[in-house]
Amino acid sequence: NRYAKNVLCTLGKNGLLLANNHEVIHRPALVLPDHMVVDTLGAGDRAHAVTLEGLLLKKQGHDILRDVAHGTASVIQHVGAHGDLRPTA
């Protein structure tokens, strides 16, 4: 099959969409006060990485979007693409 099985659309303040052959799921964005939004660099990368992880772990769409919403909310509260990640080694 040459078509994507799943499609994630990031909508900024309007939330997220996850679509596949069976459904389209909308998740509102987590609302953060303006002073907490420091830098949106890397938010899309985080959204797609968390989505891929969820798909590989066979999570349900609603659960994936919940994780994406929290992951992107975390990354935009720091300067730089991955300022919220801590080294593990």
Cβ count near 18 (within 10 Å): 21
Residues in the chain predicted with pLDDT less than 50, given as ranges, are: none
User: Tell me, what's the pLDDT at 79?
Assistant: 85
Listed in sequence order, the residues at least 6 apart from 52 whose beta carbon sits closer than 8 Å to its beta carbon are: none
Query: How many residues would you count in the chain?
Result: 89
Task: Confirm whether 84 is domain-assigned.
Answer: no
User: Per residue in 53-68, pLDDT tens?
Assistant: 999 999 999 999 999 9
**Looking at the 3D structure of the chain, how many domains does it have?**
1
3-state secondary structure of 39: coil
Q: Is residue 31 part of a domain?
A: yes
1 in a domain, yes or no?
no
pTM: 0.84
pLDDT of residue 85: 66
Residue 89: its pLDDT value, please? 61
- 11 found inside a domain: yes
Q: What is the pLDDT of residue 23?
A: 94
Asked whether residue 37 is domain-assigned, the answer is: yes
In three-state secondary structure terms, 25 is strand
Residue 23 lies in a domain: yes
Does 27 map to a domain?
yes
With respect to residue 82, please indicate whether it lies within any of the assigned structural domains: no
Distance CA 38, CA 58 (A): 32
Which domain, by its residues, includes 16?
6-75
